[in-house]
Structure 1
Amino acid sequence: MDPSVQASRRTLLRIAAAGAAGGALAAAPLPAFAASSPSGGSSPAVDRSPLPRTLTVTAPGLYPEGVAWDPRRKAFLVGSTAQGTISVVGADGSLTPLVAPFARVSVIGIHVDTAHGSVEAAYSDYFFRRMGMVDTSLPPVNGVGVFDLTTGAVRQLVPVSAGESEPRTNDLTSDRHGDIYVTDTEADTVTRVSRAGEVLQVIRDERFTAAGTGPNGIVAHPAGFLLMGKYDGGRLFRIDRPRAARPVVREVRLDRPLASIDGLALRRDGSLIAVVNDLSLPGGMTGRDAVVVLRSTDGWRTARTLRDQTWPLADPTTVAVTPYGDYVISGGLREILSGVPSSTPGQFQLRRR
């Protein structure tokens, strides 16, 4: 076994509790975190925000990749790649479990749908399967979970990417009709799922195909199309008429090349935030961590860079747009992917850009 895989397996084994019922990972204790003081030269208006510039969260074994803003609670929701949970990160410094482990899976991307009172999550046993920690003779566990936003109760668990040998759902969004769109970085697809839990369509395009990590961050634009980022090569796509029998896929021409695109978030002013990292670059390539803001004046046929900000915290994966600024998460995911110990063991960070 590759040494990095062995190290990653040890990381997950440390988190797994012996004899966890039903094959689920036992949730590690989730202590309240100590929020850091606002810093970084914020203006007085920003300093009066109920959220500090940087939140440092002590939560051993959580390793969150996805984050979303819950406007009802005025709090963040974070998933867990190791425990298969969703937790609430409060502005008051509290960390409270919301969705309990429902299988031995990673919860990766998460999305809040206030119109339907739900939180949606992409889940997969990809990491556990890759490290030989589940019965690989059984089909992969990979899908979309829909949970009650208030109670965390399961509404739907919808398998997707059926028949794929190593699927990995990654990120998801929903449109005004309530349909959910989830990317799969290994199957190189975007799947449309109904609110009732039916797989309606699988969107494929030869440009989605990647030797490594493919379709990743995705957002639904109010004009009715999707914007989706492909991790390898940092390519951005506009998917028109996603509810039609044959959606139209166009690549968005960027003014500057991006090494990768991980998480995406659409801001209220119409700009798009793309998170860049080198967590999964092919062939051991290295790059930089950055948060890039893009804007389009032609309906996302093309886009120009408004801001390209080298990120000060290691391995950012995605971003949550809040009334108090855009918060980027660094969840220590490199330790899960490669076995390299996190630079902040037992902690993760949310930082306002």
Structure 2
Amino acid sequence: MDASAPASRRTLLRLATAATMGGALAATPLPAFAKSASCPLPRSLSVTAPGVYPEGVAWDPTRKAFLVGSSAQGTVSVVRADGSVTPLVAPFAQVSVLGIAVDARRRRVLAAYTDYFFRLMGIVDPTQPPVSGVGVFDLATGAVLHLVDLADGQAEPRANDVTFDGDGTVYVTDTGVDTISVVSRDGQLLQVIRDDRFRTDGTGPNGIVHHPAGFLLMGKYDGGRLFRVDRPRSARPKVGEVRLDRAPASLDGIALRPGGSLVAVSNDLSLPGGRQGRDAVLELRSTDCWRSARTVRDQTWPFEDPTTVAVTPYGDYVVSGGLREILTGVPSSTPGQFHLRRR
């Protein structure tokens, strides 16, 4: 991504931010569809919501609806099965909300946020320190419970994705400083996990999930590498690379399925030169507790630039949020829309 951003990119972010700061989120619901008794969700949702540009998506079992973040507006919104979009979390700073997770047991939403895109476009004051962290919000009302600063004085921090364990401890990846931050249930930074294998000059640690066996699985975007992190809350976490039968060009968002397999999204949004990879959704399976894994399904994705996936009782839904418009200023093939599609 070039620091000398064209005016079109700055305009996209300014317009999107203004739409939210000024009041209602711009969104046009789609017509209702005939609901199936067995699956209340359609296979594909094309949602009209100019300025939202979701990078992250999660399933909210309390509403039986999706939650999406906004890379341009710093919001979290509810997307229902009829395509309607309703704001939940109001703008809390001039930031992009990227990865999100729903902790239904504790009635909260977790969201990784960063002002990196705004700083790249010259929209925020460059003399001010970067903003990057994880937000904790009330699931019912969207009220702010905690905003945890994870910038730590770094030059270009980029909090990217978030997950949590059975005790409510939160784990946040940072693609800019190549780390995983560990945050307590009450919003205190406990430690930062670093490993030389996380480091890259490009886009680093990205999608992350907590496995029921107690370890983390984390995908590194550059090179499509997958890592297992044992004892992530201990003073000395153990990091091991998962041996893949074939590594994708990139690993963006990941999600664990109830049967134990891992869904992983690959794109070329941040690959050098862009448009040199392929948009794909993979399913990986392991027989040795994620010391190694093989690809059991590989789908070329029909919507451009997928970023992550939400596992629902009705299937796994992949979001394509039009993020390339923000990164390059080039309009997507379906401007003003984002897509959710069951794989």
- AA aligned to 2:26 is P
1:30 has 2:27 as partner: yes
CA apart distance, 1:2 = 6.3
Superposition map of 1:1-353 within 5 A = 5-17=6-18, 28-34=25-31, 48-284=38-274, 286-353=276-343
Give the secondary structure class of the aligned counterpart of 2:293. strand
Judge conservation of contact 2:54–2:321 (CA < 8 Å) in 1: yes
CA apart distance, 1:47 = 8.3
User: Is there any run of 5+ residues in structure 2 with no aligned partner, and where?
Assistant: none
Q: 1:104-139: CA deviations, max 9, x gaps?
A: 000000000011110000011100011110011111
Looking at structure 2, the residues matched to 29 and 334 of structure 1 have their Cα atoms a distance apart, in angstroms, of: 20
Counterpart of 1:43 in structure 2 is: none
CA apart distance, 1:238 = 0.2
Judge conservation of contact 1:36–1:54 (CA < 8 Å) in 2: no
Percent identity for Structure 1 against Structure 2: 68
**RMSD of aligned alpha carbons:** 1.8
Looking at structure 2, the residues matched to 37 and 53 of structure 1 have their Cα atoms a distance apart, in angstroms, of: 12
CA apart distance, 1:140 = 0.8
Looking at structure 2, the residues matched to 132 and 157 of structure 1 have their Cα atoms a distance apart, in angstroms, of: 24
- AA aligned to 2:80 is G
CA apart distance, 1:48 = 4.0
TM-score (norm. length: structure 2): 0.95
CA apart distance, 1:34 = 3.7
User: Is there any run of 5+ residues in structure 1 with no aligned partner, and where?
Assistant: 39-45
- AA aligned to 2:10 is R
Q: 1:307-337: CA deviations, max 9, x gaps?
A: 0010011100000000000000000000011
Q: 1:173-225: CA deviations, max 9, x gaps?
A: 00011110000000100000111111001000010011110000000000000
TM-score (norm. length: structure 1): 0.93
Residues matched between the structures, number: 342
Judge conservation of contact 2:130–2:151 (CA < 8 Å) in 1: no
Give the secondary structure class of the aligned counterpart of 1:65. coil
- AA aligned to 1:310 is T
Give the secondary structure class of the aligned counterpart of 1:127. helix
Q: 1:17-65: CA deviations, max 9, x gaps?
A: 29x8xxx576542232346789xxxxxxx88411001001000110000
> Could you say if the C-alpha distance between residues 349 and 36 of structure 1 is closer, same or farther in structure 2, counting changes exceeding 3 Å?
farther
Give the secondary structure class of the aligned counterpart of 2:242. strand
Q: 1:226-258: CA deviations, max 9, x gaps?
A: 000000000000000001101000000000121
Give the secondary structure class of the aligned counterpart of 2:18. coil
Q: 1:141-165: CA deviations, max 9, x gaps?
A: 1100000001110000000031111
Counterpart of 1:42 in structure 2 is: none
Give the secondary structure class of the aligned counterpart of 2:105. helix
- AA aligned to 1:32 is P
